[in-house]
A = this chain, B = another copy of it.
Amino acid sequence: MKPSLPSGTRDFGPEVVRKRNYIFTTIREVFELYGFQPLETPALENLETLMGKYGEEGDKLIFKILNNGLNDPKNIDKARSAFEQVMTGRNDKNLTERALRYDLTIPFARYVAMNHGQLSLPFKRYQIQPVWRADRPQKGRYREFYQCDADVVGSYSLLNEVELTSIYANVFKRLGVPVEIRINNRKVLAALAELCGGSDKMMDITIAIDKLDKIGIEKVKEELAQRGLQADQVAAIENYLAINGDNQQKFAAASDLLGHLEIAQKGLAELKYMLDMYEGSEVVIDFTLARGLNYYTGVIYEIKAIGVQMGSIGGGGRYDDLTGLFGVPNIPGVGISFGVDRIYDVMEELKLFPSTVRTGTQVLFFNLGERESLVAYRLVQDLRKHGVACELYHEPTKKFDKQFKYAEKKDIPYVVIIGSQELEAETCIIKDLRQGNQITLPQSGLVGFNFDTAVSEQIDK
């Protein structure tokens, strides 16, 4: 039998895990620096926790777990009845009661609803875990992938928006990824809807605007018309979408267009507060930003990497009511998300992973015989005590090439050779595989050797 992986899933070998962990660790460190706390929820959730939360399309993409014991001949009656239910379009608990986590937001909401008595609000949590979606697999889209979220719940304060902006900036600065942090405010979009005849137009407008990048202004105008907007309303939206210039100029233009509406004033004031508090030049007002999800009510974010062709590598926004669905109303929040797979691709393309990320073992000790290996093994253990990752080749052999090849394949920068001569003289040869040169040291000097630095520099000393 030739084994294979389910489509849309991936194995991550050592080098990829190390690079991914570099991204995760960087993000985690910044989250912690800002007082966010880790949360982990189970991969399995009750089906009713997830169903109905992601729209009709989303429901279809949730992976459901078959109840155990169904295909046991003993359960045939139970199974038959469960299947009949399903065949008439109903989900039967006898068939499936559990499903795989589809995102991190609903499990977080479920957690907050279950624990809000014990939590001290505002609760700042971060969560880095895989999610599963039965999407059609395609390039860059997987059925199992990590999400990486930070949310503050239980606070209306705009300071949270400022902090999240600063987190975005800080993370991408540490990763070396040049970005634009695009922000808008759903209140400004609500004002636009008001200008176009009422809040019932909000959904139509955001859905159409959200496609601007992909389909261009003419198609957006067509779609708006199809959605029942009048010519003058479409023209107003076109004016709005044409707003450009630097942040100040954009503010002025938006004020001209929408400033007579109270909700626009509020939205613009919030954006202005954020720009005043967070002074980084990477923050760009983008009034064309809409974000499809209709639970956003305030500031929204989207991150674009500069200098590469890639969709957004992060996004988020403020929402009014996280846990109402679970019977606990009035818990507002604001959150951001990092698109780790895309960040990985950007960093590969821009060659941003530090070379040290790949390094596992620093030193391979050759194994040149029973007696030699005994001495080598003691030295290996000594070095490990001093924090140097090292290995003794797994079996005695006189074949140097085999051992060199092992070091090379594993990208090990140093080998230490103790043959019969060195055994006699109580010395060892340290060979720097990247530079190709070597040095002979007494075995007792090995612990003091700096395996982070090239051999040649240590010869010069």
User: Which residues of A are interface residues toward B (Cβ below 8 A)?
Assistant: 1-6, 9-14, 17-18, 21, 32-46, 48-49, 60-61, 63-66, 68-73, 76, 79-80, 83, 86-87, 89-91, 95-98, 100, 110-111, 113-115, 120, 122, 124-125, 130, 132, 134, 143-144, 152, 155-157, 159-160, 162, 166, 170, 277, 325-327, 360-361, 364, 367, 373-374, 377, 381, 384, 387-392, 394-395, 405-406, 409-410
Q: Which residue of B lies closest to A98 (CB)?
A: B6
The A interface is mostly helix, strand or loop, or mixed, namely mixed
Measured between alpha carbons, how far is A43 from B381 in the docked complex, in Å? 35
Are A9 and B42 closer than 8 Å at their CB atoms? yes
The reply to whether A49 and B155 form a contact with Cβ atoms under 8 Å apart is no
Are B6 and A97 neighbours in the complex by a CB distance under 8 Å? yes
Contact A130 B43, CB 8 Å, known A38-B21, A98-B6, A389-B32: yes
By the criterion CB–CB under 8 Å, are B159 and A44 in contact? no
A55 and B156 CA atoms in complex are apart in Å by 55
Q: Are A73 and B89 in contact (CB under 8 A)?
A: yes
12 pairs from A and B in contact (CB 8 Å cutoff): A3-B46, A9-B42, A12-B39, A12-B40, A34-B384, A37-B410, A44-B132, A70-B86, A71-B91, A157-B395, A170-B384, A277-B374
Report the separation of the CA atoms of residues A360 and B125 in the bound assembly, to the nearest whole angstrom: 11
Shortest CB–CB separation between residue A368 and chain B, in angstroms? 13
Contact between B68 and A79 (Cβ–Cβ < 8 Å)?
A: no
Distance from A24 Cβ to chain B, minimum over Cβ atoms (Å): 11
